[in-house]
Chains A and B, each alone.
Chain A
């Protein structure tokens, strides 16, 4: 898995750059980015997940299904879970493709086996859900 991250005001542009970089690094063409019926981002020849908060964009591209989320650690929220737990729920929901639909989703238990943290930025939680634990990070 390669996790691309960067501060880019144009998140759509960032996604394309990440895909281009992945293609170049792996000498492949993973195909065009599209969304399935549930709105989950897809590639033809790899798996992808996308997240952004303020200007920080992250894109994870893997040979296995993946979900990724990012939040600022000091984000203030009224929900009953911590921001870190929220990113775990989001990463899992993006992995399944269902997404977090509403408040009730926060009350449903979810498996944590394939959820892990990527600690590359001091001020942000970056959380990944994937069976692919072999990742490198790349600042774009």
Chain B
């Protein structure tokens, strides 16, 4: 899948999970600082991404996600 398509789907997930405006979300957007996502938000986003893309995101990789780009890259390698 194209990274841009993955990013668009992730933006939908972020909008749904966090209720944030996602027009300005890019691969550089940080989860903790820019999106103010706490650990529960992160777990919910991972669950939603796993459902959306039909993959399992392993815990060690999930732990390392700091930016939206990190998540896009991980998913791109799997779908």
A: which residues have CB within 8 A of B? 53, 71, 75, 77-79, 86, 90, 99-106
Closest to B65 in A: A102
B: which residues have CB within 8 A of A? 38-40, 43-44, 46-47, 50, 57-60, 62-63
A22 to B62, CA, bound (A): 35
Name the prevailing secondary structure of the B interface residues: helix
- Provide a sorted-by-A list of 11 A–B residue pairs whose CB atoms are within 8 angstroms: A75-B40, A77-B44, A79-B44, A86-B40, A99-B63, A100-B39, A101-B60, A101-B63, A102-B46, A103-B46, A106-B43
Q: Which residues of B contact A101 (CB under 8 A)?
A: 59-60, 62-63
Q: Which residues of A contact B44 (CB under 8 A)?
A: 77-79
- With A104-B59, A105-B59 known as contacts, the answer to whether A99 contacts B43 (CB < 8 A) is no
Please provide the 8 A-B residue pairs with the shortest distance between their CB atoms, ordered closest to farther: A101-B59, A102-B62, A102-B59, A101-B63, A103-B47, A102-B46, A100-B39, A101-B62
Our pick among A53, A75, A102 for the contact of B58 (Cβ within 8 Å) is A102
Q: Which residues of B contact A99 (CB under 8 A)?
A: 39, 63
